Structure 1
Amino acid sequence: MRRPRGALLLVLHAHLPYVRHPDDEDHLEEEWLREAVLECYLPLLDLLERLADDRVPVRLTLSLTPTLVAMLEDPLLRGRIGRRIERQQALAEREVRRTRDDPSLHAVARFYQERLARLARLWTDRYRGELVPAFAALRDHGLIELLASGATHGFLPLLRSSPQAVRAQVAVGASEHARALGRRASGFWLPECGYYPGLDRVLADEELRFTFLDAHGLADAEPRPLLSVHAPAFTPAGVAVYARDPEASEQVWSAEVGYPADPVYRDFYRDVGWDLPEDALVPMVGPGRPRRATGFKYHRITGRGMDKAVWEPEPAFARARAHARHFVSRVKERTGALVERMERDPLVVAPYDAELFGHWWFEGPAFLEAVFREAAAAGLAVVTPGDDLQAWPEAQVVSPVESSWGEHGHASMWLDPVNDWIPQALHGCAQLLAPFARLQRETGIEGRALVQAFRELLLAQSSDFAFILRSGTVTAYARARVQSHLSAFLELVRAVRTRTVDPLRLQSLERRDALFPALTLSQFRE
């Protein structure tokens, strides 16, 4: 066995809730996907391939949730992404003309124009609008390890009163990953890092070997882990659990003291979509449509006040590279101090939402690329859980505690007076579906209706809508989505019971919520 060495385990969790409105080409909430593709997923693929071309060692752990994969596969949504790119390029041309008398703004407008041209080439020519196979190819070439996740990102601790619901989230998530990406995943990203004792058995039953917890989920385990959060432990069911490193998290996540708060970085909130007259936003925002972010942001964070200096791309990207250098040096310093006290590689486990890099933190992709380059130069290993378990197959057995990476480390974001009606409704619906699942009625129009009811229940379980209600953002949309899926579920179950399934209504629901093509009632089991 070789000598221990410090290592970084970098994890990106790529997820969006399922948003698909077939009858509205320009639905506002569908912008979430279009923005993420342009700002996060295309830049991520681009930087990973550039690193590979430059022979920089890359080992990234990446989860792709089933709802995100379903949208990336969807021909209707892919077509809308392509048209969105065209509209944004048209606005770029207008912005270049509008800013020609202001050299500082004009330089930023030209930057966006050139960037959009490259993104358009990537989308159209390099990937032909198909990003899921591109991520699978990176896995096959050894650059990334892909993780499965919950079918619709349900917060599993609040579903445990219905064991079938928990198993369905895990089983459908694992099978959808295998269907779309051509291979079963060995690891599973727990939505919101939500864990409760006994959940490890559900993961083990799906042959999932490892998962991730927030720091206290492992640090407070019984017995206490001897290596704290710097190494995985095995649960009683044999699943390896890795814990988020608090310092690495704060360095990158924190809006107060983290890297993204640096005043040189681009300001997320200031956008011409709010600053310019409506007629100046055509064709990005059509007549009579709600204002929205356009991606054309000309100012840097600067400070807490309203006065903002003009953003400058090169100093901002240089700062991202400097922050990557600091991040790598801290990981080296911390793991170096642990090497002599541990008989295996000390790890810094650094999981983040993938959408942080490029969407919330525009310079984030440049930071990620520089982390890999700096790690290679500094001799810091970057590993995946599969690499780590192969090198160090033995670990302490502990029982992790209930935990999440949400506010206060538990369930308060998803169980609050504004959203506590949701878990109760979900439990009631699961109890209604259970008898049909036991009978496995899946043939004929009634079988189709029951599968669609199952699909509607899964969509209602999404943690995202409860989170939105608690955080107070697009609350009307979130409430309407949950209520719509619950209503459709009850309508379909009632129709099956009375043998009055309306084929046209069923077809309409199947067209609206067109995900999980291989879904079966057998996946809803105790």
Structure 2
Amino acid sequence: LLYGEPRPRFGVHAPVRCPNGVAVFARDVETSQQVWSAEVGYPGNALYREFYRDIGWDLPLDYLKPHLHKDETRRHLGLKYHRISGRDVPGDKKQPYIPTLARAKTAEDAADFVGKRIKQAYKLRETFAGHPPLVVAPYDAELYGHWWFEGPQFLDYLFRELHYKRDIIRALTPGDFLDSNLPIQIQQPSASSWGENGYYKVWLNEGNSWMYPYSHDAERKMTALGDRFANPTEIERRALNQIARELLLAQSSDWAFQIYQGTTVEYSSRRFQSHIHRFNLLAAQIEDKNIDEKMLVEIESRDNIFAEIDYRIYRS
């Protein structure tokens, strides 16, 4: 948005509207860092629960066996008895987790967050000639409760604090802001992403570029089959819907992302290849009008996401 044409009059603190009518809201960097960052943000506080100390790794294996899968492999079990204790405290030196202290800290952090938003809004309003500044604060849902165990408590206290100070600052959705009918600048935002450096190298680089020829080939084939089978039989319809599922699963951005991150390269590569393989297998059977129903049932049970999918959305 900041690099769009023309430049936004209010920076990231007001939405713009694209020429096609779509409203665009930009994330506030300061607010994002304050919550997302484990280094400088709230989740890294010493009193909060330590994510990486889990009884699945801490306790003796014989004690854990009744609670593990049949392979008796250690894994995260979700019970974590330690707090972060400090940025430089090694894992084996973490202190016991005390829920009451952590909960009190979430109330303190929520009040701090709201206080900083009020100061930020007053400062912005001075330069906006009276136009009410908007601070957009979107976060991945998995942060609250998963990575940051106390995150839901923080949200609870946050909205209580916002309600208490509702005469100064107000929580609202993008839709609420648009309903206010304030004038919105027309602008064409620059292409960008949330990935590293703000563009697309996370999803397209020398480590994962091999994936895209397979994806594009499947996309073209999906469109061609959608066009060809206007009136499919019941089993053809099921198979066409299933290859649509396989295509969407293959296109999940997580596979390319995780390959770039180097975290689960083998798993991500295997998942992508398996969906492309099942797509091509069923597509060939559809083209030959020789669908193996037993195989189709097995694939349907394995990859059963998007129950209401309709392959016809791919028709040209």
Q: Can you give the 5+ residue segments of structure 2 that lack an aligned partner in the other structure?
A: none
Partner AA of 2:17 in structure 1 = F
TM-superposed deviation, 1:422 = 1.8
Q: In structure 2, do the counterparts of structure 1 residues 525 and 338 end up closer, same or farther at CA, with 3 Å as the change threshold?
A: farther
TM-superposed deviation, 1:525 = 4.0
Distance in 1 (CA, whole Å) between partners of 2:307 and 2:275 is 18
Q: In structure 2, do the counterparts of structure 1 residues 510 and 288 end up closer, same or farther at CA, with 3 Å as the change threshold?
A: closer
Partner AA of 2:6 in structure 1 = P
Structure whose CA Rg is larger = 2
Partner AA of 1:371 in structure 2 = L
Which of 499, 515, 520 lines up with 2:305 in the alignment?
A: 515
Which of 117, 140, 155 lines up with 1:353 in the alignment?
A: 140
The match for 1:219 is: 2
Distance in 2 (CA, whole Å) between partners of 1:367 and 1:309 is 22
The match for 1:292 is: 75
- Percent of aligned pairs sharing the same letter: 44
Distance in 1 (CA, whole Å) between partners of 2:119 and 2:231 is 58
Q: Secondary structure of 1:459's partner?
A: helix
8 Å contact kept, 1:234–1:241: yes
Could you tell me the TM-score, scaled by structure 2's length? 0.93
Distance in 2 (CA, whole Å) between partners of 1:499 and 1:231 is 55
Check if 1:406 corresponds to 2:195: yes
Aligned positions of 1:465-484 closer than 5 A = 465-484=255-274
Q: Secondary structure of 1:348's partner?
A: coil
Cα RMSD (Å): 1.6
TM-superposed deviation, 1:521 = 2.2
The match for 1:485 is: 275
Distance in 2 (CA, whole Å) between partners of 1:289 and 1:421 is 36
Distance in 2 (CA, whole Å) between partners of 1:391 and 1:503 is 55
Q: In structure 2, do the counterparts of structure 1 residues 392 and 283 end up closer, same or farther at CA, with 3 Å as the change threshold?
A: farther
Partner AA of 2:76 in structure 1 = A
Distance in 1 (CA, whole Å) between partners of 2:254 and 2:82 is 30
Check if 1:432 corresponds to 2:221: yes
Distance in 2 (CA, whole Å) between partners of 1:483 and 1:386 is 40
8 Å contact kept, 1:442–1:448: no
8 Å contact kept, 2:207–2:260: yes
Q: Secondary structure of 2:247's partner?
A: helix
8 Å contact kept, 2:202–2:257: yes
8 Å contact kept, 2:36–2:43: yes
Check if 1:245 corresponds to 2:35: no
TM-superposed deviation, 1:409 = 1.2
TM-superposed deviation, 1:439 = 3.0
Q: Secondary structure of 2:24's partner?
A: strand
Distance in 2 (CA, whole Å) between partners of 1:354 and 1:234 is 26
Bigger relative CO (Cα 8 Å, ≥ 6 apart):
1
Distance in 2 (CA, whole Å) between partners of 1:375 and 1:354 is 20
Distance in 1 (CA, whole Å) between partners of 2:65 and 2:231 is 48
Report which stretch shifted further, 278-287 or 480-489: 278-287
Partner AA of 2:144 in structure 1 = F
Q: Secondary structure of 2:67's partner?
A: coil
Partner AA of 1:475 in structure 2 = V
The match for 1:390 is: 179
The match for 1:374 is: 161
Which of 447, 465, 470 lines up with 2:237 in the alignment?
A: 447
TM-superposed deviation, 1:408 = 1.2
The match for 2:43 is: 260
Q: Can you give the 5+ residue segments of structure 1 that lack an aligned partner in the other structure?
A: 1-217
Q: In structure 2, do the counterparts of structure 1 residues 359 and 312 end up closer, same or farther at CA, with 3 Å as the change threshold?
A: same
The match for 2:150 is: 363
TM-superposed deviation, 1:440 = 4.2
Distance in 2 (CA, whole Å) between partners of 1:524 and 1:451 is 10
Deviations 1:174-211 (A, max 9, x none): xxxxxxxxxxxxxxxxxxxxxxxxxxxxxxxxxxxxxx
8 Å contact kept, 1:273–1:292: yes
8 Å contact kept, 2:65–2:72: no
Q: In structure 2, do the counterparts of structure 1 residues 451 and 279 end up closer, same or farther at CA, with 3 Å as the change threshold?
A: same
Distance in 2 (CA, whole Å) between partners of 1:440 and 1:231 is 47
TM-superposed deviation, 1:448 = 2.2
Q: In structure 2, do the counterparts of structure 1 residues 442 and 468 end up closer, same or farther at CA, with 3 Å as the change threshold?
A: farther
The match for 1:497 is: 287
Deviations 1:263-319 (A, max 9, x none): 111111011111112221244313423211111111111122322111111111111
Check if 1:332 corresponds to 2:121: no
Partner AA of 1:353 in structure 2 = D
Distance in 1 (CA, whole Å) between partners of 2:182 and 2:215 is 39
Distance in 1 (CA, whole Å) between partners of 2:70 and 2:242 is 36
Report which stretch shifted further, 473-482 or 393-402: 473-482
Aligned positions of 1:1-20 closer than 5 A = none
